[in-house]
Amino acid sequence: MRRITRIATVGLASAALALSATACGGKKSSDAGSSDSKEASAAIAYDIGGRGDQSFNDAAYAGLQKAESELQIKGAEAEPTDGEGEADKVQRLTELARKGNNPVIGVGFAYAPAIKKVAPKFPDTTFGIIDDTSVTGANIANLVFNEEQGSYLAGVAAAKVSKTGTVGFIGGVEVPLIKKFEAGFAQGVKDTNPNAKVLSQYLTQPPNFDGFAKPDLGKAAAQGQLDAGADVVYAAAGLAGSGAIEAASAKGKWAIGVDSDQYNQAGLAKYKDAILTSVTKDVSDSVYDLIKSVKDGKPATGEIRYGLDKDGVGLADSNPKYKEMADVIAAVEKAKADIISKKINVKTAP
């Protein structure tokens, strides 16, 4: 969940990210050392949207910040470029690995082909990839989440607060990962109110990934759903989802955030009263945990899955208005318990 344009105040003006003149095209939190540096260093390469998306990438950055603070490592960041291809990602990961960063983490499934090419060339470096299990290797860690479970809880909440019986789902790009969000949300809505209507829309189709990057697309889609009677809109669309939040706020309706607790995102402060809750993914801890495993000399590899049972996904309760909804919270907590006990099996495809 993602960028090509950047939130300003989430009005949502686009601002091009300043890219530093490095071979990996990245802005860095600090200059990670060269391969002969004795100081431990770790790097993250951002997905579409880059740092400042108030969502997916910012969650990854929070994990790097925590590692810098608690593990006394140096951190490096590399931003995506507009319209980049696989070769750009390969070069970015290669440069980060050559400079001695370990681990090197690709934020998002789009890094899978690049990691498949680069990881074998640096067998002593651990490569992490978030939201993908298609590429595997002795030095690759797949950090994945049960997004459908958190989305199910969002569907329960949406159905409980909706007064019109119509709610909306907006997906950034129609790919299997985002369809997990849709599937869980729709199932949660229908299990709570069988008569409810779920309006679903995807902003773009691959290979066009602008649906993760352009707030105006999310805003227009949300406005259309609100005009069609929806009074709750859930967008799994990264930076584009910020436009959906803005649209819901303008109409006095509810929005549900994604990936990060968007109620607490500074860039969305103007609209936070409209953010009922957010489906969270513990991307931050997944990044931190991988960095710590390398620092401890026991690098994690293979599939590392985060679900409701480990609080790897969940539903935020930062909005005081949400905390006052005792019946909604009770329904959400019951659904959470039923999913963990496997009484409810959440679908991963619509």
Q: How confident is the model at residue 48 (pLDDT cuts 50, 70, 90)?
A: confident
Neighbours of 136 (CB within 10 A): 16
Q: Which residue has the higher pLDDT, 320 or 13?
A: 320
Q: What is the pLDDT of residues 8-23, one digit of tens each?
A: 323 333 333 232 333 3
Mean pLDDT, residues 195-219 taken together: 96
What distance in Å separates the CA atoms of residue 304 and residue 290, rounded to the nearest whole number?
Answer: 10
Across the chain, what does the average pLDDT equal?
89
Comparing 47-51, 98-102, 179-183, 203-207, which segment has the lowest mean pLDDT? 47-51
What is the SS3 string spanning the chain?
A: CCCCCCCCCCCCCCCCCCCCCCCCCCCCCCCCCCCCCCCCEEEEECCCCCCCCCCHHHHHHHHHHHHHHHHCCEEEEECCCCCCCHHHHHHHHHHHHHCCCCCEEECCHHHHHHHHHHHHHCCCCCEEEECCCCCCCCCEEEEEECHHHHHHHHHHHHHHHCCCCEEEEEEEECCHHHHHHHHHHHHHHHHHCCCCEEEEEEEECCCCCHHHCCHHHHHHHHHHHHHCCCCEEEEECHHHHHHHHHHHHHHCCEEEEEECCHHHCHHHHHHHHHEEEEEEECHHHHHHHHHHHHHCCCCCCEEEEECHHHCCEEECCCCHHHHCCHHHHHHHHHHHHHHHCCCCCCCCCC
Q: What is the pLDDT of residues 272-311, one digit of tens each?
A: 999 999 999 999 999 999 999 999 999 999 999 999 999 9
Give the percent of the chain with pLDDT over 90. Answer: 84
Q: Which residue has the higher pLDDT, 271 or 40?
A: 271
pLDDT at site 32: 39
What distance in Å separates the CA atoms of residue 337 and residue 333, rounded to the nearest whole number?
Answer: 6
What distance in Å separates the CA atoms of residue 284 and residue 179, rounded to the nearest whole number?
Answer: 22
Domains of the chain, with CATH numbers? 41-145 (3.40.50.2300), 147-281+319-341 (3.40.50.2300)
Mean pLDDT, residues 141-167 taken together: 98
Q: What is the pLDDT of residues 239-276, one digit of tens each?
A: 999 999 999 999 999 999 999 899 999 999 999 999 99
As given in the structure block, the two tokens for residue 186 are 């729709």
What distance in Å separates the CA atoms of residue 281 and residue 178, rounded to the nearest whole number?
Answer: 13
pLDDT at site 38: 57
pLDDT at 66 over 50: yes
Amino acid at 55: S
pLDDT at site 7: 30
Comparing 57-61, 128-132, 250-254, which segment has the lowest mean pLDDT? 57-61
What distance in Å separates the CA atoms of residue 47 and residue 49, rounded to the nearest whole number?
Answer: 6
pTM of the model: 0.85
Mean pLDDT, residues 60-71 taken together: 96
Mean pLDDT, residues 186-192 taken together: 98
Comparing 191-195, 236-240, 328-332, which segment has the lowest mean pLDDT? 236-240
Q: Which backbone phi and psi does 348 adopt, to 5 degrees?
A: -110, 0
